């Protein structure tokens, strides 16, 4: 683990002629180019600040003080070859990689033609697919785990190049952008791979940057750990300007130095550098990239920079930084120091500097003038690209029949298979069919210590519920592996891999522990396509064991909470109640082009209810299509998951006792949900009961009930009722659990009352 520390005294200032002539390998032309990038970056900030004051743009984040490290990274790494997860201060890096000032101003005005987002994201939220600059968001730090996943994706394809093959003819030529077909009309297809333009290099590097404050985020540490464990080619660049808004580094980072804190991570190459010095910064990046390209591990660059323009235009740093401190920083301004360096080294004279600056000014003037004329996207376009424009998982293309009577994958006679059996069978079939599928999560592997399996010393675990049992043995440890116990990392890494064209099918062991991944699940995964205006997508599948009725599951092994996720635009949510639906919906989840939260009820895994024969390797169910679990004419019950068998039990009792015919609708998929089936049923029965296992208030049923009241009011002969859990967490004692969760008798009483209303 090499460590290089650059003397904080600037190499720019070193006057020794012999030493300075080498410039860490940079040519004079590259040094001039670096200055042009840095100067352009600073002047774009100045122009944007002016435009913001004139209310011609609506937000501004500056890269001032961070220009040298960015220009250096741009010179050391390769656009369209390496991959980039920059943060908002990386304007100079983006310019060095090939982003134009015009493109930056287009984002400022929120133009339809803004290539990063089409007016959907603030300025400095970079996204340029052709350059491999991956869409970034505003939460500080949520890009870091994705960068790790991106590097993993690249390495996976390099090791298994056949995985990049596309099954049918791709809709675009190799090298084209991953965009919708020109018509923009939804097109049914059975395979996401047709719409992923995979590219990879054997020695590619993934760059990710963050501020000093952001290094306090847990996701940063999860990412460092994962990168070190897997020896991934990621360059972490901490741009340390000494402040996170108003919080100084000594109040943020124990001991005041992030370098010191991370120095124990194995397999890393470490650099601590004056990030206001483009030459020293370039040297640091060259060494870091060399380490990463050799495949021996990640690199960490701690770049000391300055922040001359306050945090943003909404911040006035004079409120917390005295003039003396700000003046001290100003002495290290990278733009003026680099200019002085070029003059001193005789690389440019006064005339040359003036000429360069004049050229930049006139380029910026022209870019601003053009950008100010650009039009915004039409308001009706706002819902475009929430989901894939290419594959519609609700379409009939995903409606196939089960191949009943077929032999099971293990060659035995058709048998009644549990939901657990058919989920495993579906995963196995899809892994055989698609080499891009990787499975990881906590305990999902058979055994991380492969030699135990090879020597047949152990049988293997395959998940705490055993649903992935045997898959590592069958498909290899690079396709099925245990992750560290870190849920944000599971989803964040999966998101990065999916961005590269892999199909991660990750597992969150218990729904109760999904919350560390919430930032990734709310602000990242489902937003990637929309916020990049279809520039990027991340169709990752997240399997989650959910639910109660476990007699002893208690608070932390019984939770539901699906409505928190159905509330997220861009995320498909499915919740099967039986074996066949689980198989069909999981296959649709894997083959479609959207992120999917696949909820598996633990109580249903091995229930005798809803078992079915193996339906064959191509059985699919479209999303958004409910199933009539039992037809009826007197009352509609809308439900899903583990409440389905309970509702059926109650309905059958009511029929036996009073001849009331209850229609039970199993929604199966919650986002999208099947409004047509609900509406048709309520039009027939004129009575509706919504039943769900989650807590009553603000739950999933609230939306359904509101929709019925709103749109079917004239058809109703009774109020819309709900049956759900009490508004409390699930208790451990089975008697208490029974009292909290909706039971068949609660459903029976509500049905009876509503039928008699």
Ligand X SMILES: Cc1ncc(C[n+]2csc(CCOP(=O)(O)OP(=O)(O)O)c2C)c(N)n1
As annotated, the active-site residues are 557
Neighbours of 327 (CB within 10 A): 9
The nearest distance, CB 541 to ligand X, in angstroms, is 26
d(CA 658, CA 634): 11
Give CA separation, 347 vs 24, 25, 33, 89, in Å. 15, 15, 11, 28
Q: Given the DSSP bridges, would you call strands 627-630 and 662-666 parallel, antiparallel or unpaired? A: antiparallel
What is the token pair recorded at 373? 């004329």
Is residue 63 part of the contact set for Mg ion (CB under 5 A)?
no
Give least dist CB 670 to ligand X, A: 28
CB 164 → ligand X: shortest distance, Å? 34
CB under 5 to 8 A by kind: which of ligand X, Mg ion, none does 529 bind? none
> Does the footprint of Mg ion cover residue 241 (CB under 5 A)?
yes
Q: Which two tokens stand for residue 145?
A: 């785990």
Helix, strand or coil, per DSSP, at residue 432 = helix
Q: Residues 211, 526, 547, 645: which binds Mg ion (CB under 5 A)?
A: 211
Q: Shortest gap between Cβ of 392 and Mg ion (angstroms)?
A: 44
Q: Give the nearest distance from C-beta 66 to ligand X in angstroms.
A: 7
Nearest residue to 245 (alpha-carbon basis) of 333, 315, 181, 143: 315
Shortest reach from residue 244's CB to ligand X, in Å: 3
Burial of 352 (0-12, 13-18, 19+ CB in 10 A): middle
Q: Which is nearer to Mg ion, 137 or 424 (CB)?
A: 137
Residue nearest Mg ion (C-beta atom): 211
β-partners of residue 234 are: 206
**Contact partner at residue 245 from Mg ion, ligand X, none, CB < 5 to 8 Å by partner kind:** ligand X
The C-alpha R_g of the chain, in whole angstroms, comes to 29
User: For ligand X, which is the closer residue by CB, 245 or 347?
Assistant: 245
Binding residue (CB under 5 A) for Mg ion from 48, 82, 152, 212:
212
Which residue's CB is nearer to Mg ion, number 213 or number 576?
Answer: 213
Cβ contacts of 620 within 8 Å, gap of 6 or more: 190, 398, 399, 400, 584, 587, 588, 591
Cα(505)–Cα(434) distance, rounded to whole angstroms? 12
Which residues, in sequence order, are bridge partners of residue 272?
5, 302
Q: Taking CB within 5 to 8 Å according to partner kind, which of ligand X, Mg ion, none is near residue 139?
A: ligand X
Q: Which residues bind ligand X (CB under 6 A)?
A: 89, 138-140, 210-214, 239, 241, 243-245, 307, 311
3-state secondary structure of 660: coil
For 44: left if phi > 0, alpha if psi spans -120 to 50, otherwise beta; the answer is alpha
Among 278, 273, 253, 234, residue whose Cα is nearest residue 3: 273
253 lies in the site for Mg ion, by CB under 5 A: no
Nearer to ligand X, 528 or 667 (CB): 528
Pattern 15-54, Mg ion, x by CB under 5 A: ----------------------------------------
- Told to check if 297 binds Mg ion by CB under 5 A, we report no
The nearer residue to ligand X, 489 or 647, going by C-beta atoms, is: 489
Stretch that binds Mg ion, among 46-54, 205-213, 335-343, 576-584 (CB under 5 A): 205-213
Q: Is the peptide bond before 672 cis (omega within 30 degrees of 0)?
A: yes
Q: For the chain, report the end-to-end CA distance as a whole number of angstroms.
A: 75
Nearer to ligand X, 116 or 743 (CB): 116
In whole angstroms, the minimum distance from the beta carbon of 144 to Mg ion comes to 15
When CB distances to ligand X are compared, the closest residue is 211
CB of 217 to ligand X, least distance (A): 7
Q: Which is nearer to ligand X, 303 or 420 (CB)?
A: 303
Tell whether residue 615 is a contact of Mg ion (CB under 5 A).
Answer: no
What angle is formed at CA 41 by the lines to CA 37 and CA 45, rounded to 5 degrees? 170
From the list 295, 293, 287, 294, the residue with the least C-alpha distance to 269 is 287
Q: Which residue has the tokens 């079917």?
A: 712
Buried b (16+ CB within 10 A) or exposed e, 268-306: bbbbbbbbbbbbbbbbbbbbbbbbbeeeebbbbbbbbbb
**Least distance (Å) between residue 219 CB and ligand X:** 9
Provide the greatest CA pair distance for the chain: 100
- For the chain, helix, strand, coil in percent to 5 are 45, 15, 45
- Asked if residue 276 binds Mg ion (CB under 5 A), the reply is no
Q: What SS3 class is residue 302?
A: strand
- DSSP code of 102? H
Compare residues 241 and 685 and give the one whose CB is closer to Mg ion: 241
Nearer to ligand X, 87 or 673 (CB): 87
- Segment interacting with Mg ion (CB under 5 A) among 185-193, 235-243, 333-341, 363-371: 235-243
Is 584 a binder of Mg ion (CB under 5 A)? no
Question: Does position 308 bind Mg ion by CB under 5 A?
Answer: no
Residues that bind Mg ion (CB under 5 A): 211-213, 241, 243-244
């Amino acid at each position: 683990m090499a460590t290089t520390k650059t003397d904080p005294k600037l190499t720019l200032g070193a006057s020794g002629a012999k030493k300075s002539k080498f410039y860490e390998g940079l040519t004079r032309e590259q040094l001039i180019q670096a200055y042009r990038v840095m100067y352009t970056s600073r002047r774009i900030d100045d122009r944007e600040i002016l435009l913001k004051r004139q209310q011609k743009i609506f937000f501004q984040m500056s890269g001032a003080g961070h220009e040298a490290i960015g220009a250096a990274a741009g010179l050391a790494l390769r656009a369209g070859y390496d991959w980039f997860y920059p943060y908002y201060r990386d304007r100079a890096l983006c310019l060095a990689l090939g982003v134009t000032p015009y493109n930056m101003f287009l984002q400022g005005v929120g133009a339809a033609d803004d290539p990063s987002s089409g007016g959907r994201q603030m300025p400095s939220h970079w996204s340029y697919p052709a350059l491999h600059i991956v869409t970034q968001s505003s939460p500080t730090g949520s890009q870091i785990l994705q960068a790790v996943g991106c590097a993993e994706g690249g390495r996976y394809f390099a090791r298994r190049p056949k995985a990049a093959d596309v099954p049918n003819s791709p809709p675009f030529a190799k090298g084209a952008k991953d965009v919708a077909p020109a018509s923009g009309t939804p097109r049914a297809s059975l395979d996401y791979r047709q719409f992923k333009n995979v590219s990879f290099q054997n020695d590619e590097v993934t760059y990710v940057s963050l501020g000093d404050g952001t290094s306090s985020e847990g996701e940063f540490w999860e990412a460092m750990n994962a990168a070190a464990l897997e020896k991934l080619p990621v360059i972490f660049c901490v741009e340390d300007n000494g402040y996170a808004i108003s919080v100084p580094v000594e109040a943020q980072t124990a001991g005041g130095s992030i370098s010191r804190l991370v120095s124990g991570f194995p397999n890393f190459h470490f650099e601590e550098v004056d990030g206001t010095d483009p030459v020293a910064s370039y040297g640091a990046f060259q060494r870091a990239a060399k380490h990463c390209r050799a495949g021996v591990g990640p690199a960490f660059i701690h770049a000391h920079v300055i922040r001359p323009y306050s945090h943003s235009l909404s911040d006035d740093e004079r409120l917390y930084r005295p003039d003396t401190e700000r003046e001290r920083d100003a002495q290290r301004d990278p733009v003026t120091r680099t200019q002085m360096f070029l003059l001193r080294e005789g690389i440019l004279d006064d005339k040359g500097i003036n000429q360069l600056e004049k050229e930049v000014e006139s380029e910026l003037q022209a870019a601003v003038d053009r950008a100010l004329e650009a039009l915004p996207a039409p308001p009706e376009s706002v819902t475009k690209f929430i989901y894939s424009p290419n594959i519609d998982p609700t379409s009939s293309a995903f409606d196939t029949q089960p191949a009943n009577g077929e032999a099971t994958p293990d060659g035995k006679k058709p048998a009644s298979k549990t939901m657990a059996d058919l989920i495993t069978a579906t995963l196995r079939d899809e892994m055989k069919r698609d080499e891009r599928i990787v499975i990881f999560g906590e305990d999902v592997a058979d055994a991380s210590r492969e030699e135990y399996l090879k020597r047949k010393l152990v049988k293997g675990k395959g998940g705490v519920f055993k649903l992935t049992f045997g898959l590592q043995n069958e498909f290899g440890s690079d396709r099925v592996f245990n992750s560290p116990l870190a849920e944000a990392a599971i989803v964040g890494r999966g998101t990065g891999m999916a961005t590269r064209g892999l199909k991660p099918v990750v597992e969150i062991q218990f729904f109760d522990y999904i919350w560390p991944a919430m930032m990734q699940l709310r602000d990242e995964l489902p937003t990637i396509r929309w916020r990049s205006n279809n520039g990027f997508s991340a169709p990752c599948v997240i399997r989650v064991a959910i639910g109660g009725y476990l007699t002893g599951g208690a608070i932390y092994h019984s939770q539901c909470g699906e409505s928190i996720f159905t509330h997220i635009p861009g995320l498909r949510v499915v919740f099967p109640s039986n074996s066949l639906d689980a198989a069909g919906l999981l296959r649709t989840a894997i083959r479609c082009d959207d992120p999917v939260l696949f909820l598996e009820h633990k109580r249903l895994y091995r229930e005798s209810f809803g078992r079915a024969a193996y339906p064959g390797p191509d059985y699919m169910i479209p999303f958004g299509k409910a199933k009539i679990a039992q037809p009826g004419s007197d009352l509609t019950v809308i439900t899903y998951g583990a409440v389905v068998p309970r509702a059926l039990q109650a309905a059958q009792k009511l029929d036996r006792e009073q001849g009331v015919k209850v229609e039970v609708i199993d929604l199966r998929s919650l986002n999208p949900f099947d409004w047509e089936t609900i509406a048709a049923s309520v039009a027939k029965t004129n009575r509706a009961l919504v039943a769900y296992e989650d807590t009553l208030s603000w739950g999933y049923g609230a939306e359904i009930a509101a929709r019925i009241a709103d749109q079917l009011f004239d058809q109703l002969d009774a109020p819309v009722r709900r049956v759900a859990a009490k508004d409390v967490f699930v208790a451990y004692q089975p008697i208490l659990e029974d009292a909290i969760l909706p039971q068949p008798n609660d459903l029976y009483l509500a049905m009876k009352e509503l039928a008699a209303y």
